[in-house]
Structure 1
Amino acid sequence: MSKKQKELLVSGYGPVNGEPSVKLCKVSEDYKVESTIWREHIKEPSYLCTWKDMCFGIREEKESGSILCFQRIGETYVLRHELELQGGDLCHILYEPAESVLYCSFYGTGHVAAVKVEDYHFATVLNFFRLPANQESGIARAHCCEKEPEGSYVLFAGIAQDKVFVFQTEKGRILSEIPSAEICLDTGAGPRHLKFHPILNYLYVITEYSNEIYVYLFEKEEGKPHFTRIQVISTLPDMFKGVSYGSSLVISGDGRFLYAANRGADSIAVYDINPDGLLAKKQDISCKGEHPRHIALAKDDECLMIANQKSNQVVLYTVDEMTGKLKDVIQRLDFYNPSYVEEL
């Protein structure tokens, strides 16, 4: 009996020398690449997100940022619509299926957007505004966004402002450009990516500049979000003394383990998540490449996928089911400047 096939989606800062900037591969049960079934050559689609038969992509451009909607037809995807927005360096998107809204974050200008999606098209720009700037520098930068578990609020990481901004939404629309709450980190931390625990009421924020994870207890008081900091823990190996930048984090589906990537130290930190939400580091291991920009777990949590941008490879590690530790490298997929990876 043949092994069940999986699909691996990768994108990056291409195209270059005829190589695609987006690739969808069929892989075997043990993640051996068997064929490439979709290729795209759009400019710098550094981040993607998917929902059912839709794949959303971006063009990370200096003076603007375009969002793209592809539809799955058979084994490939077909571009259905593209919309150019005016913020610079669009770097992150999040699709909220309950409201059919795509949220967009612009690193270069600090803008955020909410765009209604209808029939594979971007129907209406519900919001487009700039996050509050750093009061000293005047700079605003927006990065990762996440919806809180009940879906009433959306959070945007302000990497230059050392804050995570919390906005109330209704039917996907952000109700006010004034945040409902602000989560303040230490000066110079640089919050980059954030994830809510899949089961418990905790928020985890990885910082780019201080290479740390901030842990917050998430509660609602009279319906309003409230975040209490309960831990700050380093993502770096104990003996590392060089320059490094935190990139992304991912939490296992059962909520037992958290993984964080370091660009510079070129390592992956593995943590136990205790019932009280606190992290306990249990492993520092090489990413087997350079500049791990993005990490993701396979659907069954048995494989960690690492987009090593500067070594032009996606590296796949097996994950120990009992301990969560990374074990052996089972696959290396060559790809120019990878910045996103996902199992479909």
Structure 2
Amino acid sequence: MKNLLLVMALISPLVSSAQKKAKTGPKVFDLVIGTYTGTDANASKGIYVYRFYAERGEAAYLNEVETDNPSFVAVTNDNHFVYAVNENNADGSGGVSAFKFDKQSGKLELINARKTKGSPAHISVDKEQKNVFVSNYGGGNLQVFPINKDGSLGVANQTIQDEGKGPDPMRQSEPHVHSAFLSPDEKYLMVSDLGLDKINIYRYKASKVPSLTPAEPAFVSTAGGSGPRHTTFSPNGKFMYNVQEMKATITVYTYDNGKVSEIQLIKMMPDSFTGVNGAADIHISPDGRFLYASNRGTANQIVVFAIDQLTGKLTRVDAYSTVGDNPRNFMIDPTGRFLLVGTSRRIYVFVIDKATGRLMQNREAIDVASAVCLKMVPVE
């Protein structure tokens, strides 16, 4: 009996510690940063990895790997691999690269690379780690690359080419596939075509070739000349939100097993705004209460909306300056305490008031230029 009590006494603190960690979740993450690269001495060189401490909102440099214009990155569900587009426009040499990833050291090691049929702007990967989806803005198509057991990418086994044009002759003279996001259950893929004002909907079956087939209905249209760009879902999976780049608007949809129905169209900017819009990214807080969207152009803001928990509809809360820099992709850290936004000069860190959704700029900033995509991987 004494031995049993001794064992229990020794185990109890360990169990308590494990329970506490499980309750609070990890507080240390690797921040994986995709960038635009260049020849300037101060330009970014490729993908950067920083250690992010969520209790303090601080970051420390770990590693980097050189690669051309890795503007968007995706991390596998097991955190062992990183995939990046190589967004090269001038010579048509766009591609996608696969890297091994060591989350303890932050080291990235190139496995292989594949050419894409156009200039890619976005990449995503399924949780089963079967396929990578590449959206070719230049070229107007979506490509599916199978993932091999060693994390390398096979030759694309499906290319879906869009056809047509939109009402804006300058921006929409041809298709521009801008992103592909899986539904929460990963049974459907939502593909935004900025050039055609459409969100194409595909049924997804990971182990089949081809893995994508048109859903019924096969697409939903956004307002003419709006330019759909990125999509996100509410944590409960009942609502879908799409941000439109050209008009800086957000469309709210009900979502049910691949079927969407528009319930609201809301402007990011007030009617008095006469500047240039360039809406870019959209994310929802982990608790599902607030939606954030970025607007570039001459606005250079992060706009905050409150989400009605019953209807999914949005109400504008406030907007926050990114100090004149161009806010592209941003992310909310998994703890919901910080919002990090990549801009042309650096990555700004905002503190989130969880009660109101409002932002306060943190004293910390990360000096990575032309940061386009931010992803976090738990270290603990």
User: Same fold, TM exceeding 0.5?
Assistant: yes
Letter of the 2:140 partner, please give it: G
Letter of the 1:103 partner, please give it: F
Query: Where do 1:160-179 residues align within 5 Å?
Result: 160-171=195-206, 173-176=210-213
CA deviation string 1:148-169 (max 9, x = no partner): 2222221110101011001122
What residue is the counterpart of 1:183 in the other structure?
Answer: 220
In the alignment, which of 125, 147, 152 is matched to residue 117 of structure 1? 147
Q: How many Å separate the matches in 2 of 1:211 and 1:175? A: 30
Letter of the 1:159 partner, please give it: L
Is this contact kept in 2: 1:103–1:114, CA < 8 A?
Answer: yes
Instruction: Kindly state the Cα deviation for residue 5 of structure 1 after the two structures are TM-superposed.
Output: 4.2
Letter of the 1:84 partner, please give it: K
Which structure has more RCO (C-alpha within 8 Å, separation ≥ 6)?
Answer: 2
In the alignment, which of 125, 128, 131 is matched to residue 162 of structure 2? 131
Query: Where do 1:34-53 residues align within 5 Å?
Result: 34=60, 36-51=61-76, 52-53=79-80
Q: How many Å separate the matches in 2 of 1:175 and 1:32? A: 41
Q: How many Å separate the matches in 2 of 1:42 and 1:167? A: 31
1:335 counterpart SS class: coil
Letter of the 1:70 partner, please give it: F
Q: How many Å separate the matches in 2 of 1:135 and 1:332? A: 39
Structure 1, 251-260 or 68-77: larger mean CA deviation: 68-77
Is this contact kept in 2: 1:64–1:90, CA < 8 A?
Answer: no
Instruction: Kindly state the Cα deviation for residue 239 of structure 1 after the two structures are TM-superposed.
Output: 3.8
Instruction: Kindly state the Cα deviation for residue 218 of structure 1 after the two structures are TM-superposed.
Output: 1.4
Instruction: Kindly state the Cα deviation for residue 336 of structure 1 after the two structures are TM-superposed.
Output: 2.1
Identity of paired residues, percent?
22
Q: How many Å separate the matches in 2 of 1:135 and 1:313? A: 34
Query: Where do 1:211-222 residues align within 5 Å?
Result: 211-220=248-257
- Return the structure number with greater helix share: 2
Q: How many Å separate the matches in 2 of 1:300 and 1:177? A: 36
In the alignment, which of 8, 29, 33 is matched to residue 6 of structure 1? 29
TM normalised by structure 1 equals 0.91
Q: How many Å separate the matches in 2 of 1:15 and 1:72? A: 24
What residue is the counterpart of 2:192 in the other structure?
Answer: 157
Is this contact kept in 1: 2:346–2:366, CA < 8 A?
Answer: yes
Letter of the 1:167 partner, please give it: Y
What residue is the counterpart of 1:269 in the other structure?
Answer: 303
Q: Higher Cα Rg: structure 1 or 2?
A: 2
Q: How many Å separate the matches in 1 of 2:303 and 2:71? A: 23
Q: Which runs of 5+ in 2 are unaligned?
A: 1-25
Letter of the 1:42 partner, please give it: T
Query: Where do 1:4-153 residues align within 5 Å?
Result: 5-16=28-39, 17=41, 19-28=44-53, 29-34=55-60, 36-51=61-76, 52-62=79-89, 63-73=92-102, 74-75=104-105, 76-85=107-116, 87-98=117-128, 100-118=130-148, 119-134=150-165, 139-153=174-188
Instruction: Kindly state the Cα deviation for residue 82 of structure 1 after the two structures are TM-superposed.
Output: 1.1
Is this contact kept in 2: 1:22–1:45, CA < 8 A?
Answer: yes
Letter of the 1:46 partner, please give it: S
Q: How many Å separate the matches in 2 of 1:128 and 1:177? A: 13
Instruction: Kindly state the Cα deviation for residue 274 of structure 1 after the two structures are TM-superposed.
Output: 0.6
Query: Where do 1:229-268 residues align within 5 Å?
Result: 229-237=262-270, 239-264=272-297, 265-268=299-302
Q: Which runs of 4 or more aligned residues in structure 1 lie more than 4 Å from their structure 2 counterparts after TM superposition? A: 135-138, 177-180
Count of aligned positions: 334
Is this contact kept in 2: 1:167–1:180, CA < 8 A?
Answer: no
Letter of the 1:7 partner, please give it: D
Q: How many Å separate the matches in 1 of 2:120 and 2:359? A: 32
- C-alpha root-mean-square deviation of aligned residues, in Å? 2.1
Q: Which runs of 5+ in 1 are unaligned?
A: none
Q: How many Å separate the matches in 2 of 1:7 and 1:25? A: 6
Letter of the 1:67 partner, please give it: V
Letter of the 1:115 partner, please give it: F
Is this contact kept in 2: 1:12–1:340, CA < 8 A?
Answer: yes
Query: Where do 1:183-332 residues align within 5 Å?
Result: 183-220=220-257, 225-237=258-270, 239-264=272-297, 265-275=299-309, 276-309=311-344, 312-332=345-365
TM normalised by structure 2 equals 0.82
2:328 counterpart SS class: strand
Is this contact kept in 2: 1:134–1:140, CA < 8 A?
Answer: yes
* Distance 1:200-1:179 versus aligned 2 partners, 3 A rule: closer
Q: How many Å separate the matches in 2 of 1:289 and 1:56? A: 30
